[in-house]
């Protein structure tokens, strides 16, 4: 088969800015459909989702709704800074039942926030491996096009534990190796209900998992866009020296 | 936020107007009654210390009319009215200037400088050099050269900003610049701490050369290229190792220009020489071109540029081999200067090119590679392996014994005459029979038959393996061919579909524009100016206190909630809003801004170009399938011939043996 070049090849050439790639690796398993506020009437039914029993209610705002809102704010904030909009590249990969690349890498200027839907189990390990692969391939493309790049970010958000037989131990090994070789920075955020024991094993000891305060996804994404804006204005290779604002508004260690 | 109360250096009150913007270090305010200057006031975290105040004082002392036309140079100190401490300064105001990266980045340029062609950038480069020249003449250095602190106007005029961070020499003292951006920091300073580094003009010249390079080379950085060596060096390392990606020597240090960009062939040799002096090893010893050296060379380049015959928006150096922008686009690169010439253009699918693809595809019908065993059979039929004499002899003895056994069995009825004959015949038939049976079962002929049969079976199997391989090759080829053909057709459909997507995109933009225009129209209609039944001045004041000020703010739920506004009054307001809306006129033709439409057109053209490039690659691969398969099959031919010859031999051998039966 002819080697297929993803669209953006020409986009890569017409935008000479050094790139700041970021994979948003988001949990869309069934538990993300849990209602967090404004719940309506209890319909008196229960349902088994993602290993837990839930009561069914009408209306309400779910975790995934909050994530979708957060994504919109994230996109808007990045585009408020025209240099960051040309430098930050976003890809969205979700895992809920299956691992899906909802949005391949595009510059923030071209990014349209998707509307995610929650369902299915939590194939965490496979998702992490796919994110690492996406980052590796993107870097290859940058090199072919003679573009410079900042260390890629993988921003991993979950509210659960990996499925049984999940490849998370292998993913953890790859995360440790990648962090060690400075191939990417892996940030993990656990939402209420996440298995922090496993998250700690996945993360590099240098970057411990953060615990989301309540469901402040919007604040989390705002922090992310602000951090990426400051990184994208810093010097490639020196991102470590950029002081990221502490994530105190929305997370605890 | 109310502006702080300030005084000038002589203690006279210095009133500020509104806040214009905020940066990392402080805020910038407009001045009352002075549209040409602004005030920068440091925030609490960056209050100037004694050093900084001395530096500002020195800068102000250096100010002259030339500097004021090329930089936002400080002209006056500002003091806090109460503490009498220096908290800021006055500088010229820049209106309509944009950051220089918005000009050299082709994607951003389409929005920020939609009419700027290549010569506009050459002019900006020369003006930038002139600005640096003035700063250097004053004994100062820009020091923190970067993509944002040079700004460009719509006339390609360049102004330097952030002058308070310049490196200044005054009264025998050096006031350093403590920051820097790696892209614009020369190799010899990479990794150094700027707090303690006294920079030289040669360092500043590096930053200048990088910006000029970016303006001339579609935004690429001089050390941004394809690295051909081992490992994966980061950007800082490439700079530190002087790996300049352009010029005749680049290959010797393992670099090649990035794809889809101009090269040294597209600029005059004098300009190339200056770049080499700026970026190649040895430049650290002070040989980088002075700002004044760039000026004549860049002016000459601007004058010697010509317009492309195909697109008046393309301008290029007369000495190049044809239009560089047409060449890059033709080779699958971006259309860097599309639509720079007046006329926005629209997007149409290039059906002629797609037809061409289809024509090429039609010539690429799959070859069947039909297999015919006879084609590979030996021309002369094989000579069968002769039978040995032992076979004959053995056959004769067996025959005799067979006859003897039969004779003895036939002789048994003689037992009716005498019992003795029966015993003899029985014994004879048993002895001869066993002997006959032994000879028969151990017959060399049978053994030979088995051997030859086995040989044939093996030959058949060997041949089947090779023929299987042949079939697999042909099948893989046909499958591959079919897949690729299907892919090409799909891509063509997608490419044609771009026309529809484009129209949808324009419609979306128009709709957005309409919504925005409608909202603006509503906002122009103030409640205070309107005559609405039963809504007098006091009711209007109540509404204003609920932030209902224009027609845009009038909404049923919002009004109805306000105490004292029942159905009747709310309805009156809604009627007024409807009347305002009725006067709204929208012109879809003028809805989308030229910049927006152009950006959309460029995006779609780029996507189409991408598809065409992919289609071309797909066809090239399709063309290569047939010869590749043919070559693979050719490799099988010697083995095939050997196997067929072996089979024919085995069959001939077997036939010879059977003929004797």
CATH code (residue B37) = 3.30.200
**How many angstroms away from the CA of B148 is the closest CA of chain A?**
10
Q: Check if B234 contacts A (Cβ < 8 Å).
A: yes
Confidence grade of residue A1 (pLDDT, cut at 50, 70, 90): very low
CATH code (residue B262) = 1.10.510.10
Of A1, A82, A236, the CB nearest to B235: A236
Q: In what order do the strands lie in the sheet with B158-160?
A: B98-99, B150-152, B158-160
Partners of residue A16 in chain B, C-beta under 8 Å: 104-106, 214, 218-221, 224
Q: B307 and B286, same structural domain? A: yes
Quote the mean pLDDT of chain A: 85
Tell me whether residue B323 is in a domain.
Answer: yes
Q: What confidence score (pLDDT) does residue B163 get?
A: 94
Q: Check if A5 contacts B (Cβ < 8 Å).
A: yes
Q: Which of B330, B365, B398 is the last residue of a domain?
A: B330
Tell me whether residue B110 is in a domain.
Answer: yes
Is residue A204 pLDDT above 50, yes or no? yes
Q: B199 and B81, same structural domain? A: no
Tell me whether residue B215 is in a domain.
Answer: yes
Interface test with B, best of A11, A12, A16 (most B CBs within 10 A): A16
Tell me whether residue A238 is in a domain.
Answer: no
Q: B160 and B27, same structural domain? A: no
Task: Give the total number of structural domains in chain A.
Answer: 1
Is B147–A5 a contact, with Cβ atoms under 8 angstroms apart? Answer: no
Of A7, A109, A238, the CB nearest to B610: A7
Q: Which of B43, B61, B92 is the last residue of a domain?
A: B92
Is residue A177 pLDDT above 60, yes or no? yes
Most confident of A201-210, B506-515, B592-601: A201-210
Task: List, in sequence order, the alpha helices (H) in A53-167.
Answer: 63-79, 82-87, 124-144
CATH code (residue A229) = 3.40.50.410
pLDDT digits 0-9 by tens, A118-160? 988 899 999 999 999 999 999 999 988 889 888 899 999 999 8
Confidence grade of residue B660 (pLDDT, cut at 50, 70, 90): low
Q: B293 and B176, same structural domain? A: yes
Q: ipTM, 2 decimals?
A: 0.83
Question: What average pLDDT does range B24-49 have in this prediction?
Answer: 89
Which residue range forms the structural domain that includes residue A140? 14-233
Which residue range forms the structural domain that includes residue B252? 98-330
| Orientation of helix B291-303 relative to helix B201-216, angle to 10° | 20
Q: What confidence score (pLDDT) does residue A8 get?
A: 45
Partners of residue A237 in chain B, C-beta under 8 Å: 182, 234-236
Least confident among B188-202, B258-272, B432-446:
B432-446
Least confident among B137-151, B162-176, B512-526:
B512-526
* Bridge partner residues of B280 (DSSP): none
Q: B154 and B196, same structural domain? A: yes
Structure-token match 């010869």, residue found = B627
**Which B positions 124-183 lie with beta carbon below 8 A of chain A?**
147-148, 181-183
Q: Check if B471 contacts A (Cβ < 8 Å).
A: no
Tell me whether residue A109 is in a domain.
Answer: yes
**How many angstroms away from the CA of A197 is the closest CA of chain B?**
35
Q: B81 and B150, same structural domain? A: no
**How many angstroms away from the CA of B107 is the closest CA of chain A?**
6
Q: What confidence score (pLDDT) does residue B469 get?
A: 93
Confidence grade of residue A6 (pLDDT, cut at 50, 70, 90): very low
Q: What is the pTM of this model?
A: 0.69
Q: Check if B299 contacts A (Cβ < 8 Å).
A: no
Is A16–B218 a contact, with Cβ atoms under 8 angstroms apart? Answer: yes
The DSSP 8-state label assigned to residue B71 in this structure reads B
Q: What confidence score (pLDDT) does residue A253 get?
A: 61
Q: How far is CA A115 from CA A28, A99, A118, in A?
A: 11, 16, 10
Partners of residue B624 in chain A, C-beta under 8 Å: none
Q: B106 and B22, same structural domain? A: no
Quote the mean pLDDT of chain B: 89
Tell me whether residue B11 is in a domain.
Answer: yes
Strands (E), chain A: 20-27, 35-37, 42-49, 52-57, 61-62, 88-96, 98-107, 153-158, 185-190, 210-212, 251-252
Is residue A234 pLDDT above 70, yes or no? no
Confidence grade of residue A11 (pLDDT, cut at 50, 70, 90): low
Is residue B633 pLDDT above 70, yes or no? yes
Q: B301 and B173, same structural domain? A: yes
Tell me whether residue B407 is in a domain.
Answer: no
A vs B, Cβ pairs < 8 A, gives 111
Structure-token match 């503490």, residue found = B83
Q: B76 and B113, same structural domain? A: no
Question: What average pLDDT does range B347-353 have in this prediction?
Answer: 82
Tell me whether residue A221 is in a domain.
Answer: yes
CA B17-B19-B21 angle, 5° bins: 145
Interface test with B, best of A8, A9, A10, A80 (most B CBs within 10 A): A10
Three-state SS letters, B136-179: HHCCCECCCCCCCCEEECCCCCEEECCHHHCEEEECCEEECCCC
Task: Give the total number of structural domains in chain B.
Answer: 2
Tell me whether residue A242 is in a domain.
Answer: no
The DSSP string of B55-66 is HHHHHHHH--HH
HSE-CB of B344 using CA atoms within 13 angstroms: 17
Q: How many helices (H) and strands (E) does chain B have?
A: 18, 16
Most confident of A193-207, B132-146, B438-452: B132-146
**Which A positions 217-236 lie with beta carbon below 8 A of chain B?**
235-236
Is B333–A13 a contact, with Cβ atoms under 8 angstroms apart? Answer: yes
Q: Which of B330, B365, B390 is the last residue of a domain?
A: B330
Q: B323 and B177, same structural domain? A: yes
Q: Which residue has the higher pLDDT, B345 or B544?
A: B544
User: Minimal Cα distance from B183: which residue of A?
Assistant: A235
């Amino acid at each position: 088969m002819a080697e297929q070049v993803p669209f953006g090849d020409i986009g890569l050439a017409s935008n000479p800015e050094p790139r700041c790639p970021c994979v948003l690796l988001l949990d869309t398993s069934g538990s993300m459909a849990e209602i967090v506020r404004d719940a309506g009437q209890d319909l008196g039914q229960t349902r088994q989702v993602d290993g837990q029993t839930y009561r069914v209610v009408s209306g309400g705002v779910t975790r995934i709704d909050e994530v979708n809102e957060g994504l919109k704010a994230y996109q808007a904030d990045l585009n408020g800074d025209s240099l960051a909009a040309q430098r930050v590249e976003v890809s969205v990969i979700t895992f809920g039942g299956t691992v899906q690349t909802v949005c391949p890498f595009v510059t923030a200027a071209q990014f349209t926030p998707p509307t995610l839907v929650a369902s299915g189990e939590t194939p965490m390990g496979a998702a992490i491996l796919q994110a690492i692969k996406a980052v590796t391939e993107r870097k290859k493309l940058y090199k072919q096009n003679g573009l410079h790049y900042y260390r890629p970010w993988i921003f991993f958000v979950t509210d659960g534990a990996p499925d049984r037989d999940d490849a998370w131990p292998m993913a953890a090994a790859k995360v440790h190796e990648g962090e060690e070789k400075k191939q990417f920075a892996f940030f993990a955020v656990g939402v209420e209900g996440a298995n922090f024991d496993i998250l700690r094993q996945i993360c590099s000891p240098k970057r411990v998992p953060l615990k989301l305060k309540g469901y402040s996804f919007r604040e989390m994404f705002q922090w992310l866009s602000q951090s990426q804006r400051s990184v994208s204005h810093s010097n490639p290779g020196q991102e470590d020296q950029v002081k990221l604002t502490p994530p105190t508004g929305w997370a605890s260690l | 936020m109310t502006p702080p109360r300030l005084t000038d250096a002589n203690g006279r009150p210095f009133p500020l107007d509104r806040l214009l913007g905020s940066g990392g270090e402080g805020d910038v305010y407009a001045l009352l009654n002075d549209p040409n200057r602004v005030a920068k006031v440091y925030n609490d975290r960056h209050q100037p210390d004694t050093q900084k105040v001395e530096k500002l004082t020195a800068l102000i002392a250096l100010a002259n009319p030339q500097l004021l036309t090329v930089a936002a140079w400080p002209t006056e100190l500002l003091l806090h009215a109460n503490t009498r401490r220096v908290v800021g300064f006055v500088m010229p105001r820049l209106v309509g200037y944009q950051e220089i990266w918005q000009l050299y980045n082709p994607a951003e340029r389409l929005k920020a400088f939609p009419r700027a062609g290549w010569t506009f950038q050459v002019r900006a480069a020369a003006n930038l050099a002139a600005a640096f020249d003035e700063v250097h003449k004053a004994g100062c250095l820009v020091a923190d050269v970067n993509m944002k602190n040079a700004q460009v106007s719509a006339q390609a005029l360049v102004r330097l900003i952030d002058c308070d961070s310049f490196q200044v020499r005054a009264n025998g003292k050096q006031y350093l610049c403590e920051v820097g951006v790696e892209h614009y920091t020369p190799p010899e300073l990479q990794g150094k701490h700027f707090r303690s580094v006294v920079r030289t003009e040669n360092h500043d010249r590096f930053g200048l050369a990088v910006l000029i390079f970016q303006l001339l080379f579609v935004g690429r950085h001089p050390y941004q290229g394809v690295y051909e060596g081992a490992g994966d060096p980061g950007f800082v390392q490439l700079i530190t190792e002087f790996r300049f990606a352009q010029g005749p020597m680049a290959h010797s240090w393992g670099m090649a220009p990035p794809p889809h960009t101009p090269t040294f062939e597209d600029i005059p040799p004098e300009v190339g020489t200056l770049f080499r002096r700026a970026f190649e090893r040895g430049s650290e010893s002070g040989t980088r071109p002075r700002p004044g050296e760039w000026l004549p060379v860049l002016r000459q380049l601007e004058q010697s540029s010509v317009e492309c015959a195909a697109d008046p928006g393309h301008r290029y150096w007369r000495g190049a081999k044809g239009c560089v922008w047409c060449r890059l686009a033709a080779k699958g690169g971006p259309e860097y200067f599309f639509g720079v010439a007046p006329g926005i253009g629209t997007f149409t699918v290039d059906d002629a090119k797609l037809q061409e693809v289809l024509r090429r595809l039609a010539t690429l019908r799959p070859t069947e590679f039909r297999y015919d065993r006879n084609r590979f059979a030996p021309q002369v039929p094989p000579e069968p392996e002769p039978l040995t004499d032992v076979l004959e002899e053995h056959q004769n003895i067996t025959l005799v014994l067979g006859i003897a056994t039969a004779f003895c069995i036939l002789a048994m009825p003689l037992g009716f005459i005498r019992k003795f004959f029966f015993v003899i015949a029985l014994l004879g038939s048993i002895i001869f029979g066993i002997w006959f049976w032994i000879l028969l079962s151990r017959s060399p002929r049978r053994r030979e038959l088995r051997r030859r049969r086995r040989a044939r079976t093996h030959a058949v199997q060997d041949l089947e393996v090779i023929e299987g391989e042949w079939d697999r090759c042909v099948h893989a080829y046909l499958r591959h061919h079919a897949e690729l053909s299907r892919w090409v057709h799909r891509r063509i459909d997608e490419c044609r579909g771009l026309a529809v997507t484009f129209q949808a995109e324009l419609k979306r933009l128009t709709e957005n524009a309409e919504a925005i225009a409608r909202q603006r129209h509503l906002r122009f209609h103030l409640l205070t100016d309107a005559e609405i039944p039963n809504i007098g001045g006091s009711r209007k004041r109540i509404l204003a206190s609920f932030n209902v000020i224009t027609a845009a703010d009038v909404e049923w739920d919002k009004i109805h909630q306000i105490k004292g506004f029942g159905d009747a009054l709310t309805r009156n307001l809604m009627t007024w809003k409807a009347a305002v809306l009725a006067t709204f006129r929208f012109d879809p033709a003028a809805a989308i801004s030229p910049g927006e439409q152009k950006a959309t057109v460029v995006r779609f053209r780029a996507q189409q170009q991408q598809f065409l490039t992919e289609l071309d690659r797909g066809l090239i691969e399709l063309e290569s399938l047939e010869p590749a398969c043919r070559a693979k099959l050719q490799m099988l031919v010697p083995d095939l011939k050997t196997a067929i010859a072996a089979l024919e031999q085995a069959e001939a051998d077997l036939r010879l043996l059977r003929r004797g039966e």
